[in-house]
Amino acid sequence: MATGIFSLPLGLNQPNLPGTEIKVGTPARKGWVIYTVRPGDTLSQIASRYRVDARAIIYSSGLQNAVLRPGQELRIPLVEETNDEIRLPPGVRAYVVRSGDTVESIARRFDLTILGLVSANPGLQSLDRLDVGSTLYIPTGEPGLLLQLRKGETIHDLAQRFGLSVNEVAKANGLDSPTDVRAGDLILLPRVQARATYQRLLQIQEAERKAREEEARRLAEQRRKQEEARQKQLAEQRRLQAQSRARLQQQTQSQPRLRPANAVVAAAGYRWPISNFTITTYFGRRGGFQRFHTGIALAAPIGTPISAARAGQVDPAGWSRYGYGLHVIINHGGAQETLYAHMSRIVVRPGQWVDRGDLIGYVGSTGWSTGPHLHFEVRVGGVARNPLAYLP
């Protein structure tokens, strides 16, 4: 069965909504043209140019009326260049599929069984999917199998193949003579049903249903696994955070040391780099298998200002490859340096000279850090020393 929009001999002066019954001529066999409307174009001009009925363009383009806008895209069905029209049996009409149509809804609308509709359209590929703008044939009288007469084939051939008399076939098709047909005509074979085709379509429908269900199960399982992985990740994050808080609390309780806001400058010229902090880790070897701690950890809220502990030249200032995150090192001369690590932001640049107490950045938790704090080191001759020996 050929599918597509049919060339319609009726004029636009006879309104015909999409999806209603129409008389048709030659079916489209050459596909579609996508046409962009230009200024001054009218629907009748475009229809005349492509030798199709204007309503065929309306149906296939989903238009509500004949008004066009420049830039609008039209879907134009191309028809075969021929002077011969395919004839339909008197008890058969053509129906142009519209959006939302299904085989079941069309059969119900025209009081047909699905088998009856399939028999009239044995070329159907699916019971669930119909192309908008394609054509279905609707038997309005006696149901039967609708076939297109092939070149060299006769009514006698069809009647013999399906166990019918020539007179039965001629009568069902309104023929005065069994020879009054030509190749391409649609012939109705009364009482014949396309059961094999219908069963094949049912099998396709069932296979597609199972495929949809399997895809839905696969997607649901994928979402379940993703959610399970997310929950595990969140649980691990909560566990690590709880461990960090417990360790911080234990260290704070065992070695509390709170500094006032107005830090005192040591005789050696050093001052505390931040105010209102808690020492959470001291200089030296930690318990268990933890590595040697080369400075002191000063816990403070993120964004707490960090000042230079002593005057000197900044070198370097940026991201560390060794776990310090954003950090600054100040060279104080005499082979003495101070290091400020895990900062959230740096406000100085390499080579810059800073005085004692100048702002150099803010407390953060970048690099290898379990919480917001400043890791502060004092180095003499490149060797880490206990900062508490240099601070007031």
What are the pLDDT digits (tens) for 123-132?
888 888 888 8
Q: What is the pLDDT of residue 85?
A: 60
Region of poorest pLDDT, from 179-183, 203-207, 233-237: 179-183
Residue-level pLDDT at 27:
41
Instruction: Name the maximum alpha-carbon separation found in the chain.
Output: 126
- CA–CA gap between residue 383 and residue 283 (Å, rounded): 13
Q: What is the DSSP letter of 89?
A: P
Check whether 18 has a pLDDT greater than 80: no
What mean pLDDT, rounded, does the chain reach? Answer: 82
Nearest CA to 8 among 24, 19, 20, 21? 24
Residues with Cβ within 8 Å of residue 203, at least 6 apart in sequence: none
By mean pLDDT, which of 14-28, 108-122, 191-205, 206-220 is the weakest?
A: 14-28
Instruction: Name residues whose C-beta falls within 8 Å of residue 74's C-beta, 6 or more positions apart in sequence.
Output: 34, 35, 36, 37, 46, 57, 61, 63, 68
Most confident of 48-62, 85-99, 304-318: 304-318
Q: Pick left, alpha or beta for residue 59 (phi over 0 → left; psi -120 to 50 → alpha; otherwise beta).
A: alpha
**Residue 348 pLDDT exceeds 90:** yes
Q: How far is CA 82 from CA 66, 146, 186, in A?
A: 27, 22, 17
Tokens of 208: 């597609």
Residue 46 has a pLDDT of 83
Gap between the Cα atoms of 218 and 225, Å rounded: 11
**How many CA atoms does the CB half-sphere of 225 hold within 13 Å?**
6
Neighbours of 169 (CB within 10 A): 24
Confidence band of 246 (pLDDT split at 50, 70, 90) = confident
Q: Which residues, in sequence order, are bridge partners of residue 331? A: 313, 337
In this predicted structure, what is the pLDDT of residue 253?
Answer: 57
What is the model's pLDDT at position 49?
73
pLDDT at 56 over 60: yes
Give how far the C-alpha of residue 198 lies from the chain's centroid of Cα atoms, to the nearest Å.
36
For residue 6, list its beta bridge partners: 27
Position 26 confidence tier, pLDDT thresholds 50, 70, 90: very low
Strand 336-346 and strand 326-333: the pairing is: antiparallel
Angle at 28 between CA 22 and CA 30, to 5 degrees: 170
At residue 288, the pLDDT reads 56
- Give the pLDDT of residue 307: 97
Q: Return the pLDDT at 20.
A: 34
118/136 Cα distance (integer angstroms): 9
**Least confident interval from 79-93, 171-185, 190-204, 371-385:** 79-93
Which pLDDT does position 176 carry in this prediction?
Answer: 79
The mean-pLDDT minimum among 66-80, 195-209, 307-321, 335-349 falls in 66-80
Confidence tier at 256 by pLDDT (50, 70, 90)? very low
Q: Which pLDDT does position 251 carry in this prediction?
A: 58
pLDDT at site 87: 77
Q: Is the pLDDT of residue 2 over 50?
A: no
User: Is residue 249 helix, strand or coil?
Assistant: helix
Using the predicted structure, report yes or no on whether residue 236 has a pLDDT greater than 70. Answer: yes
Confidence class of residue 148 from pLDDT cuts 50, 70 and 90?
A: confident
Tens-digit pLDDT profile for residues 279-289: 999 998 876 55
Three-class DSSP category at 119:
helix
- State yes or no: pLDDT of 347 exceeds 50: yes
* Residue 23 pLDDT exceeds 60: no
